Structure 1
Amino acid sequence: MRKILVGAFVSLDGVMQGPGGPEEDMSDGFSLGGWTVPFFDEAGGQAVDRLMREPFDLLLGRKTYDIFAGYWPKDPNADRPIGQRFNAITKYVASRNPDISLSWHNSVHLGPDPMEAVRRLKEEDGPNLLTQGSADLLQTLLNGDLVDELTLLVFPVVLGAGKRLFTDAIAPSTFALLDSTRTPSGVVVSRYRRQAEGVKTGSFA
């Protein structure tokens, strides 16, 4: 059985839009793209490397797929292991467009019911499914209780607006903290595993 692993760069106020560059995702007037760059150091890179240490396929929303497909096949540093890996592995893409054209090598459209397709993928043997970016897809995965682990890199910046990792539409759930570290630039890297039970409540009275 395959797991769904989420790797996400988020601000202190939970925004995950446009972390890598000014023009990465300017939808809804977002103007602070590239907000992770001043804080990204060697330790942050090592945290990303750990997330990708085990075999995986990519599970992406259409917008993130387009960003990746526009960059990695043309990466000027073609000998980088991450680029070679992204180009070689299977990319599963969720899109509402039934006529979607996927030109990146080994790309697969999940079809008209992406969540049912993801459930089937999870039941198969094979590498885990790694989701990066893909904010809209993440909301659906979280609400459908399909996410097994979260690795969050929380950057010490408040953005005020933008696409968020968690919204009001997310179903209540509980995660166990597996490990947590801090980079020299102040990024907190934490890994969480989804727990079977729901949210427990109590009273201090």
Structure 2
Amino acid sequence: MRELTYYVAVTLDGRIAGPDGEFDAIPVTGDHIDMVFRDWRDTVPRVGLEAVGLEADGRRFDAVVMGWETYAAGLAATDDPYPHLDQYVFSRRHLDADVPAGITLTDEDPVALVRRLKAGEGVGIWLCGGGVLAGALIEEIDRLVLKVNPLVFGAGLPLFSGVYDPRSFVLERSTPYASGVIVNEYRRA
């Protein structure tokens, strides 16, 4: 069965973006970026891969799920961020948006869609964001990979939105980088 992995950059205070969705303070240079290109290449948008002359390798993921705001954050750069993945964008308000053929824009229940993907053939499913979608999919998340950045936003979009309902994950690995980023990898307890 395929796993759903929530792989995301987060601040020390648990924010994945600022109050208006901004994420430009998250560092995109440093020694942790080498790790991203080496170990998590499938999560790099096409424009990033092209800029450094790399291609996605399909080792970790072949599908990505994200909310509309996460998808829309990259529209200035491209309308097809991950053509190497099957892309599913959840929205209730933007179903009439014009998206490329490789993107499925849906208002389907995220849990139902993810369960169907997990039961199907493939490598893995990446939950790209955002926090509202992560909150809706919390019971389906098998792994958390948090790139914890040495920043405090003070306000912004949380890693998870939803009701208070504690869940346990087990730390499998924690890797610090000279950039100050620490990558924590968890599995569901």
Q: TM-score, normalised by structure 2?
A: 0.78
Question: How many angstroms apart in 2 are the aligned matches of 1:168 and 1:111?
Answer: 19
Question: Identity of paired residues, percent?
Answer: 28
In the alignment, is residue 132 of structure 1 matched against residue 128 of structure 2?
Answer: yes
Which residue does 1:183 correspond to in 2?
A: 177
Which residues of structure 2 form unaligned runs of 5+? 43-58
Structure holding more strand per residue: 2
Aligned length: 172
For residue 42 of structure 1, report the CA deviation from its aligned partner: 2.9
Larger Rg: 1
Q: Deviations over 1:25-74 (max 9, x none)?
A: 725xxxx641112x731323413641334232111111112233542458
Q: 1:62 aligns with which of 55, 58, 68?
A: 68
Map of 1:1-205 to 2, 5 A cutoff? 1-18=1-18, 26=20, 33-37=23-27, 40-47=29-36, 49-51=38-40, 52=42, 53-72=59-78, 86-97=82-93, 99-142=95-138, 145-167=139-161, 169-195=163-189
Deviating more after overlay: 160-169 vs 174-183: 160-169
Question: How many angstroms apart in 2 are the aligned matches of 1:120 and 1:87?
Answer: 21
Instruction: Give the superposed CA RMSD.
Output: 2.5
Q: TM-score, normalised by structure 1?
A: 0.73
Q: Deviations over 1:57-95 (max 9, x none)?
A: 111111112233542458xxxxxxxx6xx2232101111
Which residues of structure 1 form unaligned runs of 5+? 19-24, 75-82, 196-205
Structure holding more helix per residue: 1
Query: Structure 1 residues 133, 107: closer, same or farther in 2, change over 3 A?
Result: same
